[in-house]
Amino acid sequence: MGLFEQSQIPLKAAIKAMKLDPGAAAIVEHPERLLEVSIPVKMDDGHVEVFTGYRCQHSTVMGPAKGGVRYHQNVNADEVRTLAFWMSCKCAVAGLPYGGGKGGIIVDVSKLSERELEALTRGYIDKIAFFIGEKLDIPAPDMNTNAKIMGWMMDEYSKIKGQFEPGFITGKDLSVGGSLGRTAATGRGVVTAGVEALKVKKINPKKATCAVQGFGNVGSWTAKLAHDAGLKVVAVSDVYGAIYNAKGIDPYDLEAHVKKTGSVTKYKGSKAISNEELLELDVNILFPCAMEGQITKANAAKIKAKIICEGANGPTTPDADKILDKKGILLIPDILANGGGVTVSYFEWVQNLYRYFWSEEEVIEKQTALMVKAFKEVYELSKEYKVSMRVAAYISALSRITKAMKNRGQF
């Protein structure tokens, strides 16, 4: 089963639960358009290499498509359209005036020089410029892309349009129209959802424990902000290994260790454990913030966490969902939990359109309010329809998307 087919399982469950019109369901199940481009790049040694890039717009019924661009050797059309679909749902759950989009280039960035990376980035924008824009489709950073790359994209698009175009892309540096609070936004949203889940379970955050899988941007900010909220972070992992300390780990100090050594491993006072052991720890909250497909039918029965709050996209397989649901674990799905990033991207877009920028405190206040509202809506839907939080999140998304479709006369 491909990634896109897996993503349709909770969607179909939501369609069934809410008795959605078959015509509306058929529209939602298919992306509006998928673009594939070839990007020739003159490499440093003089030869020309042609890279394949994609941009998918799953839905634009509620507004411009919105979603990141990832650079990875495993990027493919199936992955891009799945992520675009998730973005449609994520934006709808958060109540943002966006549809879902996603892009990617098949490339191993570790094999490119900075000049080659910039040439590839500008070449990609040259090929998709007609397809994107502040009122059409708004890209953002994703795997192996960052504020610097967004700056190159904005510069290239501005050259093509002949005017300054900061609103066509988000995740930029502050100097070229980025927003305060954007770097921590996804992690902040994950922790906000996690704290709301603790309240539902009547667990005091000051007495709660958590484990964080992954220590990239999302994982590191999740760990730091969970620590700030009073949770005890007892385990953290990265691609090199995992560490555990029952007395707690200071993620800010751990971050300094990672900057010095390149990994969370061998952190002072910690015990080395496996990634599998981290996932199976007896903690109040497990934050999977690494890659998709981490919790499967092979390990779901061993999960002891009371709450799972998904920082990554698709970390739990459909088979695992069924097992976790039977165990009574409260799972906060990705399209709700990690929506903080796109929420603050929306704020960045609004600020770019107005050319008026907010303080970080204002950004955080607005983000938290939207995330808490979304959590409460989804939780109430889960009780109303007697379904899991994941299916309830899809019901929330579908309700908004199909209402817009109906009012536009699409079915």
In this structure, what token pair is assigned to residue 289?
A: 């913030």
In this structure, what token pair is assigned to residue 184?
A: 């921590």
**Cα 29–Cα 31–Cα 33 angle in degrees, nearest 5:** 160
| Ramachandran sector of residue 409 (left: φ over 0; alpha: ψ -120 to 50; beta: rest) | left
For the CA atoms of 372, 375, 380, 381, the dihedral, rounded to the nearest 10 degrees, stands at 140
For the CA atoms of 234, 277, 221, 4, the dihedral, rounded to the nearest 10 degrees, stands at -150
| Residue listed under structure tokens 């309240």 | 199
In this structure, what token pair is assigned to residue 127?
A: 């090929």
Residue in 90, 102, 172, 232 annotated catalytic: 102
Residue closest to 235 by CA, chosen among 195, 190, 289, 279:
279
- HSE, CB side, 13 Å, CA atoms: give it for residue 11: 23
336 within 8 A of 375, measured Cβ to Cβ: yes
Q: How close are the terminal C-alpha atoms of the chain, in Å?
A: 30
Q: Is 268 a catalytic residue?
A: no
- Measured CA to CA in angstroms, residue 211 lies from 149, 227, 329, 338 at distances of 31, 11, 15, 16
**Cα 172–Cα 154–Cα 87 angle in degrees, nearest 5:** 65
| Residue listed under structure tokens 């995330």 | 371
Say whether 307 sits in a helix, a strand or coil: strand
Rounded Cα–Cα distance for residues 29 and 254 (Å): 43
**Cα 192–Cα 279–Cα 184 angle in degrees, nearest 5:** 30
Q: Which residues contact 181 (CB under 8 A, 6 or more apart)?
A: 188, 344, 347, 360, 363, 364, 367
Residues annotated catalytic, as ranges: 102
